[in-house]
Structure 1
Amino acid sequence: MAQVQLADGELDYSLQGPEDKPVLVLSNSLGTDRHMWDSQMAAFTEHFQVLRYDTRGHGQSLVSPGTYTVEQLGGDVLALLDALHLEKVHFCGLSMGGLIGQWLGINAGERLHKLVICNTAAKIGTQDVWNPRIEMVLGQGEAAMQSLRDASIARWFTPAFAEANPGETRRVTDMLAATSPQGYAANCAAVRDADFREQLGAIQVPLLVIAGTEDAVTTPADAQFIVEQVAGAHYAEFAAAHLSNVEVGAPFSARVVEFLLR
C-alpha cells in the first residue's frame, strides 16, 4: 500500500505490473474498494502497469466530511496522476467508477489514451432512490452497512453466480459492510447528483461501454444510451448482473485488454 497526500487527506493506492508498460487505472464501484478488481489483475498486469486506488470514502483512503461530487472524485484521480508523474493513462471504472470515467472523458480527455466504463449510466437512479438510503446510513451507521451488504447480493450478482460462488460473493460484499457509513453516504450523494446525459458528446477518446444483461441497477439500455451519444464508441454485453467484472471474470478481462491493445 502507498498513499498520495491530497489537500484534505490521503488517497490509498497500489501500482503493480511492468514499469515499461502503459498505465491502466482501475476505479471501484460504490461500496467496494480496489480489491474488487482482484480477478482482473493477472490478465491486466501482463500488458499494463495497473494503478488501483480506493475512492475517497472507501477502503483505506480518506473520509472527508460533507457530501462529495463526481467532479471532486475525478479531481482526486487527476491529483493521483500528477503525484505519480503520469501524463496519460488508460482508465477503467465500474458503476460509480464509470461516472468518474465519464467526468474524466468530458473534462480531462487529454489525460486519457482510452476509456472503459462498465455497468454505469449517464445518470444513475433518482433522489427518491438515494435520499432514503443516505438518511438510513447516516442514521443507523454500521448496522445500515450490514443491511446493505445483505441486500447487495441480489443487485450485484445473478442468483446462479451467488449460489455457485458463495466465497467470492461474500468477499466482495464484505467490502460494503466494511465501508465507512459517512464515506458511503457522501459518495451516494455524488452518484445521486451526477448527470452527464447532455455532456457525453464531449468525450473524444476511444470508449468501450460494458453492460450486464441482468443488471437492474444500470441496464443495457443505459449503456446503449452512452454508446449512442459518443462518436465511435464500442459496446460489449455479458451475462451478468451489476459487478460484471467479478461475475464473468476472464471474458471481461479479455474484452478490456483487446480494446485497449487494438
Structure 2
Amino acid sequence: MKMADLGDVRLHYRIDGPEDGAPVVFANSLGTDLRLWDPVMPLLPAGLRILRYDKRGHGLSTCPPAPYSMGQLVSDAERLMDLHGFKDAVFVGLSIGGLIAQGLAIKRLDLVRAIVLSNTGAKIGTRDMWADRISAVDSGGIEALADATMERWFSAAFRKTPELELWRNMLTRQENAGYTGCASAIAGTDFYSTTAALRLPALGIAGSEDGATPPDLVRETIELIPGSKMHLMRGAGHLPCVEKPEEYAEALTGFVRGVGHI
C-alpha cells in the first residue's frame, strides 16, 4: 500500500506492472475503492503499467471536509499521474470516475491519449436528486441509501449471490463526508459542451441493467466524441467489471490494442 501526499489530501494508490509498461489509469465509482478493479486485473494483458487509487474521502485515502468540486477530483488524478510519470495514458473511469476522465482529458491531453467512459455520463442525475441523497446521508448515514444503491448497482441475478454483501459493506463502511463530498461534485458537473470538443479515441461501456447510468445516457455521452465506440454488456448493472469481469477485460483489451497502446 502506498500513500501520496498532495498537500490538501493524501491518496491511497497502487501501481502494478513494469516501469516501462504502457500506462493505464483506473478511477472507480462513488462508494467504492480501488478494489473495484480487482476482478479484471488478472485478465488484462501483460506489459501494462496500471495505476489505481482511492478518491478523496474513499477507501484508505484521507477525507477532507465536504463538499468537493469536480475540479478538485480532476486535480487529484492529475497530480497523482504527474507524481508517478503517467503520461499518454489510457484513462478508464467508471461512473464518477468517468466524469473525472472527461475533465482530465479536457484539461490535460498530455496525460490522456484515450479514454474509457464506463457506466457514466457527461451529466449524471440532477441537483435535486443529489441534494436528496446528501440529506439522507447527513441524517441517517450511508446505510439509509444502501439497499436502493444495490438495486441500481447490480442485476437482479447478482443481488441473489453472497457477493452482494461485499459491495454493500464497502459502501456503508466509508465515511459519510466522502460520499456526500463526491455527490456534491457530481451534482455540480455538466460536461456536455466540453466533452463534445474532445478529439481522442474513446470507448463507452454500459450495462443493460444499470439503474444509475442507463445505456442511453452512456451512448448519448460517448457519441459526443467523433469516432468513439460503444460496448453494451447485457445482464450487467452499474458495475459490470464486478458482474462480468471476463467480458469487461476483453472489451478493455480490444480497445487498448485497437488504439495501438500495446
TM-score range (shorter-chain normalised) is: over 0.9
Amino acid in structure 2 at the alignment position of 1:155: R
Question: Is 1:152 aligned to residue 156 of structure 2?
Answer: no
User: Which residues of structure 1 form unaligned runs of 5+?
Assistant: none
Q: CA RMSD in A?
A: 1.3
Equivalent residue number for residue 249 of structure 2:
253
Q: Check whether the contact 2:137–2:144 (CA below 8 A) recurs between aligned residues.
A: no
2:45 and 2:28 mapped to 1: Cα distance?
Answer: 17
Distance in 2 separating the partners of 1:14 and 1:189: 26
What is the percent sequence identity of the aligned residues? Answer: 36
**Distance in 2 (alpha carbons) for counterparts of 1:193 and 1:106:** 17
Residues 96-105 or 146-155, more deviating: 146-155
TM-score (norm 2): 0.94
**1:88 matches 2:88:** yes
The answer to whether the 8 Å contact 1:89/1:114 transfers is: yes
- Residue equivalent to 1:176: 171
Query: Residue type of the partner of 2:249?
Result: S
CA distance in 2, matches of 1:166, 1:153: 13
**Contact 1:17 / 1:45 at 8 angstroms: preserved in 2?**
no
C-alpha distance in structure 2 between counterparts of 1:174 and 1:45, whole Å: 30
Contact 1:18 1:45 in 2 (8 A): no
Secondary structure of residue in 2 paired with 1:39: coil
Question: What residue is the counterpart of 1:65 in the other structure?
Answer: 65
Whole-Å Cα distance in 1 between the matches of residues 85 and 157 of structure 2? 43
1:160-202: CA deviation from partner (whole Å, max 9, x where unpaired) = 1221x322x2212211111110111010000111111121122
Q: CA 1:235–1:47 in 2, change beyond 3 Å: closer, same or farther? A: farther
Measured in 2, the distance between the counterparts of 1:238 and 1:228 equals 17
- The answer to whether structure 1 residue 28 and structure 2 residue 25 are counterparts is no
Q: Would you say the 8 A contact 2:137–2:145 is kept in 1?
A: no
Q: Which has the higher helix share?
A: 1
Structure 1: 4+ residue segments shifted above 6 A: none
The CA deviation string for residues 203-229 of structure 1, in whole angstroms up to 9 with x for no partner, is 122100111111121111111112321
3-state SS of 1:122 partner = coil
Question: Could you tell which deviates more after superposition, 224-233 or 51-60?
Answer: 224-233
Q: Give, in angstroms, the shift of residue 50 of structure 1.
A: 1.2
Is the Cα contact below 8 Å between 2:66 and 2:180 reproduced in 1?
no
User: What's the secondary structure of 1:32's corresponding residue?
Assistant: coil
Task: Tell me if the contact between 2:151 and 2:211 (Cα under 8 Å) persists in the aligned partners.
Answer: no
Letter in 2 for 1:188: A
CA contact (8 A) 2:24 2:48 kept: yes
- What is the TM-score when the length of structure 1 is the normalising length? 0.94
Contact 1:105 1:204 in 2 (8 A): no
SS at match of 1:110: coil
Distance 2:75 2:112 in 1: 14
Match of 1:190 in 2: 185
**Deviation readout 1:66-98 (Å, 9 max, x if unpaired):** 311112101101100111122331110100101
- Per the TM alignment, residue 45 of structure 1 is displaced from its structure 2 partner at its CA by 5.8
1:110-121 map, 5 Å: 110-121=110-121
